A and B are shown apart, each in its own frame.
Chain A
Amino acid sequence: MLRLAIRNLFQSRARLLITAGGVALSLLLILTLDAIFQGVERQVSAYIDQSGADVFVAQAGVRNMHMASSSLPASALEEVERVPGVRSVTPILYVTNVVSIGDSRNVAYVIGLPAEALAGGPARVVEGRGIPLPGEAVIDRSIAVKAGVGIGDVVKILGRTFIIAGLTTGTVNLVSSVAFISMADFREARAGSDAMSFLLVRALPGVSLADLAARIEAQVSGVTAQPTAAFAAQERRVIRDMSTDLIAIMNLVGLLIGLAVMALTTYTASLSRRAEYGVLKALGARNADLRSTVIFQAMLSVALGFTAGLALTYILAAVVPLTGVNLLLLVTGESLLKVGAVSVLIAGASAVLPILQIGRLDPARVFRGGIGR
């Protein structure tokens, strides 16, 4: 009976194309959206991941950077330096602001770096210097290219004009990038306050980062310390929490489109074979035999759609970066499992109506010419 399902499926190529294509597109919707958000999550924590810090110290209760504000007193720097296991501490200032280049305005994490920064600077400098001097800015190359500027041109950050002294890569995502200015300029823009946003701690070799973070919290009052991996995870979680509802809605849309396409094509495919199923029943096939044929046919259609959808997603993931859009599509195993489960659900649900119809077929009608004629 499985052979019959395969032959039935491949006999009508146009129907197979519509079925698998429809399912592929609906699964592509789910997969791509998942891949986009996975990519955004990774991009959004790229600065933290590549900061070179082992532990991030923030104002008590602050556990990430996105849409957060942290203010630490100047005294916290020395207190953290005195904690056993700490090799170095780099203070940074941080605010979400806009990098203006001519008419181009780009949202950015603006980082104020000390001249002697041992962490927190750009990870990949492709041109110029990484640590800006007063009056200088280091921005992402893709922002500069988009605006048609380069080293030596000017940008406006925090209402002040800076000369571009360095270009970086890997800090830009769909909605923002990271721009670096000197700590002195940052302080000046913030009316001379000596407060710091975060302290980036590098640990001595062999020190447990979790233990070190715990020691910092115990010995320095008013701070929250987290190993960099945990801090980055919190950053990603904020993005995930913000996108969960959207992903759920789009998943539902994808599921419904896939279900509609599959239900329609499975129904019409079974309807067109109604006479043949009637003949098989007359010859002695049981409802269970016919049920398995319909379900296998639906599963096979969805499997083909799933494969095509996955291939399209990977093609999209490879093509999108070539278009200059700052978008990373990341297909994860979790996403594949979810889409696989959705596919099985679509296949199963689409087979229900045909199965009910076939179950009600009267085999005696095959002699009376009443099935499908």
Chain B
Amino acid sequence: MNTAMLDVQHVSKLYGEGTTQVRAVQDVSLTVAPGEIILIMGPSGSGKTTLLSMLGALLRPTEGRITLNGEDLTAASESRLPGIRLRQFGFIFQDFNLLSALSAMENVAIVAQLAGLRNGAARAKAAEALEALGLGERLNFLPEKLSGGEKQRVAIARALVNDPALILADEPTANLDSKIGHEIMQLLRRIAKEQGRSVVIVSHDQRIKDIADRVLWLEDGRFKELVTMAEDPVCRMAVEREQGISAEWNGETYYFCSRGCRAEFLENPAEFLRGAVS
């Protein structure tokens, strides 16, 4: 499995020159561990998309350094960047951005083929990825015949097919209803935790906070506040550590969404601790 540590050090991005110069991202530092889900929130124009583009090797920072598994992406030549994006990153877009002339399977397979797989192997791998996401019956459907949730699952399969270290998602729930959006986020969380892939999500959707390990607030190009998330061991909801109700047990601190969950936990902690994240 391809797992990675993304390290962002003092990254800034400036647009324009002189009096018209705009500093879209200012001195941002961030580390993303394998299997970690980070949600970047913030108002429009805060620099979220610029930051996401730089993390995905789509845009070069003006200052600072981004490394993935020790490889300096900011120093990589232009000719190397497509290969890095293809193999190290999985992209999920707000509008799904599937190729309208290709079937679900072909949309996924084409990315595998770009990475060097032969047609047959690419199609087999694509089919496997789609079947794992519950789209086994939709392999040969064109995007126009798929629902929003199905399209986003195809996009997730496409993002995963080259076994990337890091998944970058731009407003992945923006075009989905709340139920499907929640399902998609749970799916991303499962992928991150089971496969050890890091996920960075940029979104306005407050509900996504539930699945994130950390929530970062970006405003005027800077991180203003760091919010770390923990899972309530009773109801499994994500809760902000800083605002959550906590309890100590056996030398560890656990966080809860409500006093009721804490009380339930304290009655029999061992019952809830299997698989919980403190």
Binding site for B on A (CB under 8 A): 1, 3-4, 7-8, 10-11, 275-276, 279-286, 289, 363-364, 366-369
Contacts and interface: CB of A to CB of B under 8 A. Distances in A.
Interface string B73-99: 000000000111111010101110101
14 contacts: A4-B101, A4-B102, A4-B110, A10-B101, A279-B93, A280-B99, A283-B85, A283-B91, A283-B114, A284-B82, A284-B83, A286-B82, A363-B85, A367-B58
B102 A366 contact: no
A282 B49 contact: no
Given A283-B91, A284-B87, A366 B106 contact: no
Given A366-B93, A367-B170, A368-B49, A11 B86 contact: no
A281 B114 CA distance: 11
B191 interface: no
Contacts of B111: 283-284
Interface in B27-63: 49, 52-53, 56, 58-59
A283 to B, nearest CB: 6
Interface of B: 49, 52-53, 56, 58-59, 82-87, 89, 91, 93-95, 97, 99-102, 106, 110-111, 113-115, 119, 158, 170
A61 B72 CA distance: 83
Given A4-B101, A7-B101, A284 B85 contact: yes
Contacts of B101: 4, 7-8, 10-11
Nearest to B109: A3
Contact of B97 (A7, A8, A10, A366): A366
A43 to B, nearest CB: 49
Contacts of A279: 93, 97, 99
B129 to A, nearest CB: 15
Contacts of A1: 110, 113-114
A195 B210 CA distance: 112
A371 to B, nearest CB: 9
B115 A284 contact: yes
A268 B53 CA distance: 28
Nearest to A284: B86
A276 B93 CA distance: 12
Nearest to A10: B101
Contacts of A7: 101-102, 106
Dominant SS among interface residues on chain A: helix
Nearest to B83: A284
Contacts of A11: 100-101
A77 to B, nearest CB: 77
B245 to A, nearest CB: 37
A364 B102 contact: no
A286 B83 CA distance: 8
Given A280-B110, A282-B58, A367-B53, 7 more contacts: A7-B102, A279-B97, A282-B85, A286-B82, A363-B85, A366-B58, A367-B58
Given A283-B91, A285-B82, A286-B82, A4 B58 contact: no
Contacts of A368: 49, 53
Contacts of B95: 369
A172 B158 CA distance: 68
Contacts of B52: 367
Contacts of A8: 101
Contact of B114 (A275, A284, A364, A366): A284
Contact of A276 (B56, B82, B99, B115): B99
Given A1-B110, A282-B58, A285-B82, A367 B102 contact: no
Given A284-B83, A364-B59, A289 B102 contact: no
A279 to B, nearest CB: 4
A275 B101 CA distance: 13
B85 to A, nearest CB: 4
A7 B105 CA distance: 13
Q: Which 9 A-B pairs have the closest CB atoms?
A: A284-B86, A7-B101, A364-B58, A284-B85, A11-B101, A279-B97, A364-B59, A364-B53, A284-B82
A10 to B, nearest CB: 8
Given A281-B82, A284-B82, A367-B93, A4 B99 contact: yes
Nearest to B90: A283
A363 B93 contact: no
A224 to B, nearest CB: 66
A369 B53 CA distance: 12
A205 to B, nearest CB: 65
A283 B85 CA distance: 6
Contacts of B97: 275-276, 279, 366
Contacts of B59: 364
Contacts of B93: 279, 366-367
A289 B115 CA distance: 11
Nearest to B95: A369
Given A283-B85, A366-B93, A367-B93, A276 B100 contact: yes
A146 B236 CA distance: 97
Contacts of A275: 97
B144 to A, nearest CB: 10
A281 B115 CA distance: 13
B114 A3 contact: no
A10 B51 CA distance: 38
Given A276-B100, A284-B85, A289 B114 contact: yes
Nearest to B168: A367
Nearest to A9: B101
B100 A283 contact: no
Contacts of B83: 284
Contact of A285 (B58, B89, B114): B114
A359 to B, nearest CB: 12
B86 A283 contact: yes
Contacts of A363: 58, 85
